[in-house]
Amino acid sequence: MIPADDDITRVPLRAHGRLATLADADRAAILARAMARDDDAVRTQVSAILDYVRDRGDEALLALTRELDLVQLPALEVPRARLDAALAGLASDVRGALERAAGNLRRASEAARPTEVVVETEPGVTVGRRPDALDRVGIYVPGGRAAYPSSVLMGVIPAVVAGVREIIVCSPPRPDGYPAASVLAAAALAGAHRVFAVGGAQAVGALAFGTDTIPRVDRIVGPGNAFVNEAKLQVSSLVGIDSPAGPSEVIILADAATSSLLVAREMVAQAEHDPQASVIAIVVGADDAINAIDEALAGLVRTAGRKAIVRQALGTRGALLAVDSVEEAVAFANAFAAEHVLVAVADADAVLPALRGHGAVFVGASSSVAFGDYVTGANHVLPTGGLARSFSGLSTESFMRWTSWQRVTPEAAARLSADTASLADVEGLPGHAAAARGWERA
């Protein structure tokens, strides 16, 4: 029997206690997060949706929107006047917050813009690598449980900074046939070129294949539900994508001096994202170091605005664990490879170099993950499910590709010819060898 909210003294968690004595099954369950591809039903349904969009284009998009979103669209594309009106009608405090977030994100994106690399590997031989903006990109913005204007900024602004020629936003429609007004306002503020009222796997299909109305793009980025992420994986042989994504994740590294209320707040903040969110606090100290966090967490959950989601996330994938040392905490965090890591221990700067394979690290107790989600200028579109070991978060470079080039003078060609021909002969490519030997006496 689940206790009534007023009776909660400790929120039920997936794992609670000392990390060293954690049962193998509990440890494995915490580390092995499920991704969309683990669900055969999702995979099958997405495949059918993509086939339908590929075959029937706009007709399929309109039909799927009627069937899945229960919305009769007046048109797939949102008129520019609608975007401008949404921005003009935005409450002044929300607009100010979005402008601040956009400004910080733009500054961080500009600082991270890659530059051309040129090196002379030997006299007369120059090798270069030049970053080029993609021609057209698609930004997916979720619209299921809530509207996410911040995700519009995170996708569009780095693309603008990169110099992408055409930036397209797709987001699910509300009953009026348009995405949420805050999403439209953010698209206008950030500099999106076109916005379409299409969501789900069908939006990904439209961006990947192209339709009469929605042009095919070079890369699709942005967070989404299991269907959106599965669709991105299925079209990834045709179009570039960012990292596959899953439910939100946070690991909080704390010690006895860390405010228990602070830890509890950060846990609730990430738990409210999704019922499958992973929320883990690791506290350096004796077992009783986690008791105060238990009490603070119970108090916050009782009054949480998204209480049902928070309780399900904590019960399914929440953990509050005690360890003997910071090193033990870091080792577990690195094994997890989290989307977010908040380092709230005494000497957070000393811990930072040891944390590897994470989406974003928040250094110091005052560096709330919520700040990074919105206004610091860091990007909140980050890898999850352990993929932070090999994928990076969204950035200016996500909207660029590299062109390699080289220049060889005639004098250098004469010096390179013999070694090139020798290697070509070994590999059985006589045409290559002949091309090189033609420069022997240049």
Lookup: tokens for 400: 């660029």
State the catalytic residue, choosing from 272, 339, 358, 380.
339
> Which H/E stretch holds residue 138?
strand 136-140
For residue 370, what are the contacts with CB-CB under 8 A and spacing of at least 6? 269
Strand order in the sheet with 125-133: 117-122, 125-133, 400-408
Please state, in angstroms and as integers, the Cα–Cα distance from residue 180 to each residue in 19, 62, 184, 203, following that order: 43, 18, 6, 16
CA gap 370, 219 in Å, rounded: 27
With CA atoms as reference, report the closest residue to 361 among 381, 387, 379, 343: 343
Q: Which helix or strand (DSSP H or E) is residue 410 part of?
A: helix 410-426
Catalytic (active site) residue 432: no
Q: In 145-180, where does DSSP find H-type helix?
A: 149-162
Q: Do 354 and 386 contact (CB within 8 A), yes or no? A: no
Does residue 116 carry a catalytic annotation? no
Q: Which is catalytic among the residues 249, 272, 340, 380?
A: 340
Mapping DSSP to helix (H, G, I), strand (E, B) and coil, where does residue 386 land?
coil
Instruction: Give the whole-angstrom CA distance, residue 270 versus residue 310.
Output: 8
- H/E segment holding residue 252: strand 249-255
Q: Which residues contact 421 (CB under 8 A, 6 or more apart)?
A: 432, 433, 434, 436, 437
Neighbours of 163 (CB within 10 A): 14
Compute the distance between CA of residue 392 and CA of residue 231 in angstroms, rounded to an integer: 20
Instruction: Tell me how far apart the alpha carbons of residues 442 and 439 are, in angstroms, rounded to a whole number.
Output: 5
Catalytic residues: 339-340
